Structure 1
């Protein structure tokens, strides 16, 4: 039987982040929606979508929230426990950085100029 992905690591410019196991990668590409007419679907419309990554970074005494929020132009590696990996090119943090004291986590939302399988 094949192993099923259960966790992933995230590295930013070669440095592994201390992350939760719930990282989510959307490889981007094209999303499609139905175009409706009076008698039903007439076709579809395509919209380009940028790749995105969402992860939670653990907050410690060494975590610099301001530095995390300023990340742009980074190489971000998303590597799964099954050996599959993806590289987000010229990645940047998309939202302001927010620390949750309840779980000690910093939710980071990323996007980039492209994604490649490595």
Structure 2
């Protein structure tokens, strides 16, 4: 059987984040919305959609939430253990970092930006 995605490495400006399992990437791009008329489907229209990278990081001595909060115009890399790599240039953090004092100090992060590019 062929290998399937199990792990991803997330980087922000080249720095590897200490993520927990379950990172997500929506590559963004044009999203299509169906146009339904009174008696037929008439087609669709497109609207731009940002890319979205979601992950949770753990908290250690070097973790700086204020630095994360300031992420703007950063490069995000999503590297799959199956070989694919996606890059978002000019991304920003959309949420404020909030840590939970258990299980390694979970901090959910959501980064959005222009559509992701697949590096081939």
On whether the aligned pair clears a TM of 0.5, the verdict is: yes
Q: Structure 2 CA distance, aligned partners of 1:102 and 1:35?
A: 47
The 5 A counterparts of 1:1-118 are: 1-103=1-103, 104-118=105-119
Question: Any runs of at least 4 consecutive aligned residues in structure 1 with deviations exceeding 4 A, and if so which?
Answer: none
Q: Structure 1 CA distance, aligned partners of 2:79 and 2:36?
A: 40
State whether residues 4 and 82 of structure 1, in contact with CA within 8 Å, keep that contact through their aligned partners in structure 2.
yes
1:62 Cα offset (Å): 1.9
Aligned length: 118
RMSD of aligned alpha carbons: 1.4
Q: Structure 2 CA distance, aligned partners of 1:78 and 1:115?
A: 9
More strand by share: 1
Which sections of structure 2, spanning at least 5 residues, go unmatched?
A: none
Which sections of structure 1, spanning at least 5 residues, go unmatched?
A: none
**What TM-score does the superposition give when structure 2 sets the normalisation length?**
0.90
State whether residues 90 and 114 of structure 1, in contact with CA within 8 Å, keep that contact through their aligned partners in structure 2.
no
Q: Structure 2 CA distance, aligned partners of 1:108 and 1:40?
A: 42
